[in-house]
Amino acid sequence: MRALLLTILFFHSMAAQGFETILVNENYLNLSITEYSDYLSPTEDNLSILEVTKAGVARQFTPVHSDALKFNQLSDSTWLTFAVNNPTGRQVRLFLNIEAPFLTRAELYANLSDSSGYSLVATGAETAYQQRPFQMGRYVLPVTLNTGLQQLYLNIQPNLATNMQIHLLDENTLLAQNRQALVMRTLQTSILLAIIGVCLVAYLRYRIPLSLWTALTVTGFMINTVGWNGSITWLLSGIPFVEVIAINAGAFLMILGLSRVLLLIRSESYSSWLTDALIWVGRLFIVLSLLALSPLASRFLPIQIILLPVALTIFSLYSFEHRPSTLSERIALAGLLVVIIYVSITTLALLGLISAFTLFRFIIAVLAITAASLLTWAGWIAARAKGTRRAVEGLTLPDVHWPLLRKINHEMRGPINGVMGMTELLQDTSLSAHQQEYVNTIQTAGFSLLREADQLQNLIRIGLNRLPDSEDEFDLYDLIEDTVQPFSRVAHSKKLELVLDIAPDIPPHYRGNAHIIGQILSNLLDNALKFTEHGEVLVQVKPWQHGRVRFAITDTGPGIANDLKTQLFNFPDPNNAQQQLPKDVRLGLPISRYLVGLLGGQLTFSSELRMGTTFWVDLPLLPVRHTEPQTQGHSGLGIDDLRLMVVDDNLTCRKVIEHLAMNWNAEVLSMSNGQSALANLHNQFHKGEPVDVLILDQNMPSMNGFELAQRIRQDSGLNKDIVILMMTGADDVVSLSDGGDTGIEYVLSKPVSARALRQTLNLAMPAIRRNREKQHATKSLFF
């Protein structure tokens, strides 16, 4: 035995002279040993240290000459050898840090001598973290080097072919690297835990399983990444192969959760072989997730390499089979693309085709957080849309055949549009008074029928869960005017005042679901006009608390009885025969409550018998800033220089226009009838302060707008060329714009919006300027 050890030491010293030596006399050391090493992948397994150091075997070592050990240099067992010189005259404690995602076992042989033999230290995934020789790193082998020149041997047994880096470090450098890695890994895990928390909050808020499956997907990402970076060993330090278990279990849980997320996030289900394949993929990965926790977990990495790309291919085909129709589906598709990139990179690392070092760990951490964020965002939007039905109290939908109703609704809308279109064309022809009345009646009836079709369409969309959830930029003024304007004909036919009051300080542009907002306001307006026989309906829009916008619909109807208030937002009970009567089937308010909840808003109301009712809709809308060019006045004349007079028997209408004019810094006079208006016009004219613009209501008692305009044009003691704006119902707009002997060139259709009034005043500005110049010239000639 003594002779054998002497022979080993002889060949050992001879071989050491042929290798480039690592000098360890520096205080700071961080050196890749592979550049100084030779490697051997023997055809026979489990060579011992004595066999490796034999002369015949030692000559088979091949130089690495690289900073990394490539996967094609590794087999089931690989030996590395390198020379180290310790000239310090004392023992030096160093650390060999092996950077690899999975390593079954690594053995370091040092201080070979004929007296004591050698020292051995080992680590690897097969050894539980708490039993590893150094617990401030992943695969770290501490070694105490004696003085002088010696040869070290490292035996590596990889779990799977991979790339790895091996560094020789001093203790301070190793601890500094570990502290930095700890900070980064803690930050990454904290972000993923926060995202899981968001998913759980979504579930608690909407009670939709989609949020739990999203949380499972993110949990899979977190477990997979802590397996790749090794931090799972700190948490489960008593389990061998815990890194490999985490990599496998995390990947399988991620695919399992993603299979359910993609199915549940769809706004409507599709029956196809891809849907069935997605379901079976989910079932398969349930089994694999359980098996990944078994002692066989270390053998599952090849299964992951094969099955994950196959599963993601099925997911991709399923996602692209039908074009994403909602915002949540588009975001989920983006998340799926990130998952594909993530799995592609990790699969290449499993195959050893790319390195699994610091940059790799950073990239997969960023990809995991990005994919988790996108899927959670998509899941939140979809859960909000799907959970609104449960979030709205008392909402029960009857069990009906929704596709059939959708077909019926589609067939109805064609004839309705035909009737509405033809009546619009008839309005442009020469009609007698009776014919005009008939056309107006047809239009009113057609509009009512169209409103009922819209209600049915909303109900069908709710039943099929196909409400649009896209949020786009929209113009609030255009939305309100387009929504309110069709109801002016209904208000005019019932001799009601429809008043629109938009706060001047409200931003014009917002981001949100304009389609649903318009449907909500239409439902509430339709309800208000239906039950109001006398008085007015007021529509108000203004900024509200917590970044919300408040829409208020106030009517002067009969009010709501106390016993009906609790059932106001309920759909008709299919088991209650009384509620099935046509007069008791009301869909507008239940649908509106549902839609408001879908947008994350609140719908409240207040009502008193014989006093009227107010509905408030508070919606969270994000304002969009636009830089709009300033409107230049004509020859320095602007709206703030004008003197206005509004004549209307309705107090609310007068107050709205007064409020708008004062916000524009214009002077405004308010009159309730034609006689008062004539008297004040005479008074202002003789004081030398004539009114620039007269805003008249067409329908006033005792003296209507036409008669007042004719009196003004025929009165030589007044400014006969004053600009007159006539406010009227929608049916009279075309006929009034001809002017005639009243000289009315500008017509405003009720309800009058701030934007329409401002645009009309700007349009009339040249006439106002000419009239002022004429008055100034007349005054100069008189003096």
Q: Where are the alpha helices (DSSP H) in 392-513?
A: 402-427, 433-464, 476-484, 487-493
Handedness of CA 69, 73, 76, 79 (dihedral sign): negative
What is the structure's pLDDT at 473? 85
Say if residues 201 and 68 touch (Cβ distance below 8 Å).
Answer: no
Say if residues 695 and 646 touch (Cβ distance below 8 Å).
Answer: yes
Contacts of 416 (CB under 8 A, 6+ apart): 446, 449, 450, 453
Q: How far apart, in whole angstroms, are the C-alpha atoms of residue 229 and residue 187?
A: 13
CB atoms within 10 A of CB 359: 10
Residue showing tokens 């909050």: 201
| Stated pTM of the model | 0.58
Residue 122 backbone dihedrals phi, psi, to 5 degrees: -135, 155
Cα 104 versus chain centre, distance: 44
- Which segments of 215-259 are extended strands (E)? none
DSSP label of 357: S
- The pair of three-digit structure tokens given for residue 599, joined into one six-digit string: 């947008």
What is the structure's pLDDT at 218? 95
What is the structure's pLDDT at 571? 67
Cα 476 versus chain centre, distance: 21
Domains by residue range for the chain, with CATH: 2-169 (2.60.40.2380), 180-391 (1.20.1070), 402-623 (3.30.565.10), 639-782 (3.40.50.2300)
- Judged on CB neighbours under 10 Å (0-12, 13-18, 19+), 269 is exposed
Mean pLDDT by 10 residues, the chain (783 residues): 44 46 80 85 73 78 75 74 88 88 86 73 88 84 88 86 84 88 90 95 87 94 90 84 88 92 74 78 88 77 88 86 78 93 91 83 93 93 68 49 69 74 77 82 80 75 64 85 84 86 88 87 90 91 89 92 80 54 61 82 89 92 70 60 88 85 88 88 83 87 85 80 80 49 76 82 87 67 40
Q: Residue 226's closest CA among 245, 201, 199?
A: 245
Say if residues 321 and 265 touch (Cβ distance below 8 Å).
Answer: no
- Which segments of 182-331 are extended strands (E)? none
What is the structure's pLDDT at 3? 46
Bridge partners (DSSP) of residue 92 are: 145
Q: Residue 379's closest CA among 610, 168, 201, 172?
A: 201
What is the structure's pLDDT at 538? 93
Residue showing tokens 């904290």: 190
